[in-house]
A and B are shown apart, each in its own frame.
Chain A
């Protein structure tokens, strides 16, 4: 069957098998191999991407379900940011939050959603609970999560600095406006 959607701002049309997942579509049909499969069951989060601004585990979504929708992957996250790194990517690098790197793309997508949500709230620091909730769907076996926690907080600082720098320079806003909202319940 034919699937037409937008991936990282680019229109994409591909023939896919009816049962193909969004993850397989991205990796093998579109050729974006940054999103990883760690479990195939939505438990590890390594395949996390955004569909219409919301995080999903792409291993559980069918390719057919993104027909006409906007998809963003790790490959498109840095677009429009300094050094082509989203603030949270810069923070992960700075804080040593990467080890084997296989969970990293999924973590970065989820962490970016937290950082962007904070940025929309005037750059306030996220609470520990907010960080945990935002990243609860991502498993990491190397880091023990400590440096990832730190990196998310640091990402918010970098985002705030980037924002004020852009405001000062009158430069265009980075990337497309984000529409992710994070459930603030509980």
Chain B
């Protein structure tokens, strides 16, 4: 392919160009949805269910209507089209339809002249309910006789993967490890809350603009809800203040609410959520339970893996089947394992429906499975890095689903780079020496029985005596402290590793929508317009795609402008998810640029008086291979227009074939990215606070289009992963979100963020634009288990539940010490 030829030193690929939208965002000029205020704009507020499961007997909006400035109160009966979000299983009503199934579900809408009036009136809408029994734990929901939330058995979706004979393999294994793990709801916590602005244009077209990742999902939803043709609905993405999956599916609901209100009132209507409302009702990462079991030979060869994985999918299916699919495919880890049995379930409960969140079903199971790999390493007496290296998937190997890795597998190299760059060998040695010393010291120390109730069980509080000068007294509280960390704090350092792979794109679960379009138009003055269907949500798509376009055309990067995403410009290009944008929109741009470039080469050949085959194209322009001055892109474009040649085209691309049968066999994804994370932590031995000191994060994402932006993506993912590991948890009080704001939900601040060392390994993917795969999601998958493994290294306990708060870690360590004491006392007798 001609466009793949890259001239040395003259390429836009691999350059950290500056963001085109940077200046606007830095000066406050970038306009997000709430920065628009069209004349006559009404403001919406949503009446939400206070009940987890109930039949709606009556909705009374009379008092709300009497509030000054209220224009309308709307319920499901006002929806002219289909009251179901079109997605995978069309079960989620835009407005509750006779029954509510979670606290926070939208029941009615109020639109008024001001947001305050709308909110005040919304509080006055009276809803009479008849309570129905609810179920709040996915494991309970699977039991026979559980309250029914969905279908016959509360199962939205299940998958299985079978490979080899696990029973036989476990029976023959030298070592078998097994454990259960639990992970919480995690909030995407984009800093811009959900928001949409809708108006009906003079010709009747419904125009919706707002904060979103997937304009085509919104397009489908608005057309269906209003019952109008898709050619009468236009969706535009405004600059979007973060998404991370949270603006994948649920913006469709916000958009339909705004569009419905605009449709009924004939005026522009804006819905912008408060942070509390966003926490209460919008999607999150699925809480999950996983039981994982590995079997291995004494030499460290992993022979079998069994996984039972349950996602708590909340009241409606949303994207849960797809989330579950990704979790299923990656459930056993990036290892060569001949015998595999994986069973997975997405289960309905009466709780806020989780949906897409960066990682999409992988972080939960990867935390479980990578924690257990360290347990296996400990049992085998093998270095955790070595165990992973020994079993790592390599070129030619088969994944759990039997997919042969035929190309682009930089996993081995990523492991090697991570081991070297993190200083693993020295740090591990230091840890091992410390542990030896610790064992000796613990054996030598005499533990005096204590008479002090609770404190006797909490060695931290009971012993140690605070003064810290007496080694004897301090030994029990924090034997093995690596260092005094100022203010007399005693801390233990630990280091941990995790590895993961990530199927790029939608894979077999989403293959029918895995396509993308692009429109490329060269202007007379040599500037270029590019339209695509995938969005910039902060990740840097704008820069990367412009770089790809510039490279493909031989145009200066600065001359390329990517238009705001608008559903009228390109056909449905699928969602902006699954790290697919660079790959899919990039390939669509290449497809569009190819004929334009051929035309321009012919024009340049004509001007240069050489054969087309003798024209070379790079970032400096078009030149004769034999040498001489280059023609600028501007000149060539102008010459093309002078010759009345077409230099605007529509491009299209579809993903390579994928498959997945009922036994989980097939080529699940087109290609995989590979990641290795090494975390170093410091655990305070009195307070059990964990500080992540350093993370080394290494990724094979194929060719790196923009190293600076790619690094930024990884750094952000690492800190989100750290939050998942240590402090982030949406707490539900049975059915309702309890800590739904930034005071109660703990996001890491700058002071919490570790030093992050990012490295890329480039194993090019032949079907990717210039060899690129995809990056966005994989950085969040590995950090949590790497941190958990580092904590294990520091204090000797394996966390089975995230987040690993000081409270939980203290309980685990205290429990271990209690057991040890009991053990010692028994021995004394």
Q: Do chains A and B touch in the complex (CB under 8 A)?
A: yes
Please report A residues at the B interface, Cβ cutoff 8 Å: 17, 27-28, 32-41, 43-44, 46, 73-75, 77-78, 84-85, 89, 92-94, 96, 98-105, 108, 131-133, 135-136, 138-149
Known A-B contacts: A33-B28, A141-B244, A142-B716. Give 19 more (CB < 8 A).
Answer: A34-B28, A37-B34, A38-B192, A39-B275, A41-B742, A85-B27, A99-B242, A101-B538, A104-B26, A105-B28, A132-B750, A132-B751, A139-B742, A140-B191, A141-B188, A144-B712, A144-B718, A145-B719, A147-B715
Asked whether B242 lies within 8 Å of A44 as measured between CB atoms, the reply is: no
CA distance A144 to B756 in the complex (A): 9
Supply 8 A–B pairs (Cβ within 8 Å), ascending by A.
A43-B741, A75-B27, A102-B32, A102-B191, A102-B192, A141-B244, A142-B712, A147-B711
Asked whether A96 lies within 8 Å of B18 as measured between CB atoms, the reply is: yes
Q: Which residue of B lies closest to A132 (CB)?
A: B751
Which residue of B23, B27, B715, B717 has the most chain A CB atoms within 10 A of its CB atom? B27
Taking the closest CB of chain B, its distance from the CB of A38, in whole angstroms, is 4
Asked whether A28 lies within 8 Å of B37 as measured between CB atoms, the reply is: yes
Taking the closest CB of chain A, its distance from the CB of B565, in whole angstroms, is 15
Chain B residues, CB < 8 A from A99: 242, 538-540, 712, 716
| B178: Cβ under 8 A from any A Cβ | no
Taking the closest CB of chain B, its distance from the CB of A49, in whole angstroms, is 10
CA distance A32 to B27 in the complex (A): 11
Taking the closest CB of chain A, its distance from the CB of B158, in whole angstroms, is 33
Known: A41-B743, A108-B26, A139-B191. A96 touches B275 (CB 8 A): no
Q: Which residue of A lies closest to B241 (CB)?
A: A102
Residues of chain B from 709 to 760 with CB closer than 8 A to chain A in the complex = 709, 711-712, 714-720, 741-743, 747, 749-751, 753, 756
Known: A131-B750, A139-B747. A101 touches B30 (CB 8 A): yes
Chain A residues, CB < 8 A from B34: 27, 33, 37
Asked whether A96 lies within 8 Å of B191 as measured between CB atoms, the reply is: no
Chain A residues, CB < 8 A from B538: 99-101, 142
CA distance A32 to B28 in the complex (A): 8
CA distance A141 to B709 in the complex (A): 15
Known: A75-B28, A146-B715. A101 touches B751 (CB 8 A): no
| B609: Cβ under 8 A from any A Cβ | no
CA distance A99 to B716 in the complex (A): 10
Please report B residues at the A interface, Cβ cutoff 8 Å: 16, 18-19, 21-32, 34-35, 37, 116, 188-193, 239-244, 274-275, 537-540, 708-709, 711-712, 714-720, 741-743, 747, 749-751, 753, 756
Q: Which residue of B lies closest to A43 (CB)?
A: B742
CA distance A33 to B33 in the complex (A): 11
Q: Which residue of B lies closest to A103 (CB)?
A: B191
Chain B residues, CB < 8 A from A28: 37
Chain B residues, CB < 8 A from A141: 188-191, 242, 244, 716, 720, 747
Asked whether B747 lies within 8 Å of A38 as measured between CB atoms, the reply is: no
CA distance A94 to B753 in the complex (A): 21
Known: A41-B743, A143-B716, A146-B715. A100 touches B241 (CB 8 A): yes
Asked whether A145 lies within 8 Å of B742 as measured between CB atoms, the reply is: no
CA distance A168 to B18 in the complex (A): 30
Chain B residues, CB < 8 A from A78: 27
Chain A residues, CB < 8 A from B30: 101
Give the 6 A-B residue pairs with the shortest CB-CB distance, closest first. Answer: A34-B28, A102-B241, A100-B538, A101-B25, A144-B715, A43-B742
CA distance A39 to B744 in the complex (A): 12
Chain B residues, CB < 8 A from A33: 28, 31, 34-35
Q: Which residue of A lies closest to B714 (CB)?
A: A144
Chain B residues, CB < 8 A from A75: 27-28
Asked whether A43 lies within 8 Å of B743 as measured between CB atoms, the reply is: yes
Chain B residues, CB < 8 A from A36: 32, 191-192, 241
Chain B residues, CB < 8 A from A89: 26-27
CA distance A145 to B30 in the complex (A): 21
Chain A residues, CB < 8 A from B32: 36, 102
CA distance A17 to B275 in the complex (A): 22
Chain A residues, CB < 8 A from B241: 36, 38, 100-103
CA distance A146 to B720 in the complex (A): 13
Q: Which residue of A lies closest to B709 (CB)?
A: A96
Taking the closest CB of chain A, its distance from the CB of B707, in whole angstroms, is 10
Which listed residue (A38, A74, A92, A144) contacts B28, Cβ 8 A?
A74
Which residue of A28, A37, A74, A102 has the most chain B CB atoms within 10 A of its CB atom? A102
Known: A96-B709, A98-B19. A136 touches B240 (CB 8 A): no
CA distance A144 to B711 in the complex (A): 10
Taking the closest CB of chain B, its distance from the CB of A35, in whole angstroms, is 7
Chain A residues, CB < 8 A from B747: 139, 141
Which residue of A36, A75, A78, A100 has the most chain B CB atoms within 10 A of its CB atom? A100
Asked whether B239 lies within 8 Å of A101 as measured between CB atoms, the reply is: yes
Q: Which residue of A lies closest to B749 (CB)?
A: A136
Chain A residues, CB < 8 A from B712: 96, 99, 142-144, 146-147
Asked whether B749 lies within 8 Å of A139 as measured between CB atoms, the reply is: yes
Asked whether B749 lies within 8 Å of A73 as measured between CB atoms, the reply is: no
Q: Which residue of A lies closest to B751 (CB)?
A: A132
Asked whether B240 lies within 8 Å of A100 as measured between CB atoms, the reply is: yes
Taking the closest CB of chain B, its distance from the CB of A143, in whole angstroms, is 5
Chain A residues, CB < 8 A from B716: 99, 141-144
Taking the closest CB of chain A, its distance from the CB of B109, in whole angstroms, is 21
Asked whether A40 lies within 8 Å of B31 as measured between CB atoms, the reply is: no
Known: A43-B742, A144-B718. A35 touches B28 (CB 8 A): yes
Taking the closest CB of chain B, its distance from the CB of A94, in whole angstroms, is 7
Chain A residues, CB < 8 A from B25: 98, 101, 104
Chain B residues, CB < 8 A from A136: 749-751
CA distance A102 to B537 in the complex (A): 10
Asked whether B21 lies within 8 Å of A149 as measured between CB atoms, the reply is: no
